[in-house]
Chains A and B, each alone.
Chain A
């Protein structure tokens, strides 16, 4: 199959899954509607009703890791094609990427030393 056909097939898979899920929902709907009762739609919190919304700015404590993750993710984007031609290119490929990885690794070490790799 050509690439386009493959992606077409995958899109078909997505649509097919959507159809499957919707038909399951429809089947469940034939069994009855949800009865709206007081207190039923409040998110379950172990016995106490808590109607407050929780859509707030969430304080994630791992932003130090997240910044380094960005850098490494960019690196991984380069590594995929490199890995495919690696054996063909030989030692030069190892050295080239080795330098790149070494620089990134130094960045990791720097972040570590500055206290980025901990729960902020």
Chain B
């Protein structure tokens, strides 16, 4: 029952992300726009390019959606509202989100088209940049929580949220989460200006609808993960826990969607260089600092 409820909430969340994204692009709040867009996409032809890698082409949008849903399965909205409270939750979310790479590589290779292929391979470069910066801050968070249970991670922030306890980790995780969700300025893989849509461009009709749904689910899963790991989850005064979760997740989503509009796209070489030369030393420093803090303030 909680599963069904949470899946519904995930769907509502994805819907709200679509509305927020539409707002950041057009400046207007159109609540009906995602429904109309979805139905319109259903009605369009879903073209399959000539001589594709059929399995890759078909599986990619589905895999994107599945990896986002699996990631969302370990995210608690309130202490009882979680699909699977896995003992290895914080590790599992990373494992599930790795399949985003597989999905995008498949989407790049499948259609046998130049723009899609370059987009797919560029995402691999992006993964090599951000992957460590997702995992190392999570490790630091887990050090404080002494457990991989996501609910325990939230409970461990009862006194001080992790954004204050480990701000360095928060910044790195936030940036890496934006890179994982291929949001601007990290949208090397679906860039409209450089690749005319990249991996997304060869999908039309219902397959594009599933791809976009997967992307929305991914954004909200990552925002939820940020809230769980760094912003204290459902904790907060006055309002009930589910309200706080919702507010925080939507706030993080809005910031993620807005940030990229005000910057040009990052260069892949720069992303890799900064993540490895600056980001990883900072992440290691973060682990060291948290290690000391955890021992000093038990």
Partners in one complex: yes
A interface residues, Cβ below 8 angstroms from B: 1, 3, 6, 9-10, 13-14, 17-18, 21, 24-25, 27-28, 31-32, 34-35, 40-46, 50-51, 53-55, 58, 60-62, 65-66, 68-69, 72-73, 76, 79-80, 83-88, 90-91, 93-94, 97-98, 101, 105, 108, 112, 117-119
Residues on A with C-beta less than 8 A from B125 are 60-62, 65
Residues on B with C-beta less than 8 A from A85 are 146
Min CB distance A72 to B, Å, is 5
> B43: nearest residue on chain A (CB-CB)?
A31
Q: Is B86 within 8 A of A43, CB to CB?
A: no
| Contacts A/B (CB < 8 Å), 8 sampled | A1-B85, A28-B205, A34-B47, A79-B136, A80-B142, A84-B142, A94-B288, A101-B284
Q: Is B148 within 8 A of A54, CB to CB?
A: no
Q: Is A76 within 8 A of B143, CB to CB?
A: no
Contact of B51 among A18, A53, A90, A119 (CB under 8 A): A53
Question: Does B280 make an interface contact (CB < 8 A)?
Answer: yes
Scan B253-278; emit 1 where CB is below 8 A from any A CB, else 0: 00000000000000011001100110
Nearest 4 A-B pairs (CB), nearest first?
Answer: A43-B113, A28-B206, A83-B142, A41-B50
Min CB distance B50 to A, Å, is 4
Q: In the docked arrangement, what's the CA distance between A66 and B3, Å?
A: 38
Assuming A13-B83, A21-B62, what are 12 further A-B pairs, CB within 8 angstroms? A28-B42, A28-B46, A31-B42, A32-B45, A34-B45, A42-B50, A43-B115, A55-B109, A76-B132, A86-B146, A105-B284, A119-B272
Q: In the docked arrangement, what's the CA distance between A35 and B44, Å?
A: 11
Q: Is A87 within 8 A of B124, CB to CB?
A: no
Residues on B with C-beta less than 8 A from A3 are 86-87
Residues on B with C-beta less than 8 A from A34 are 45-48
Residues on A with C-beta less than 8 A from B85 are 1, 6
Q: Is A41 within 8 A of B48, CB to CB?
A: yes
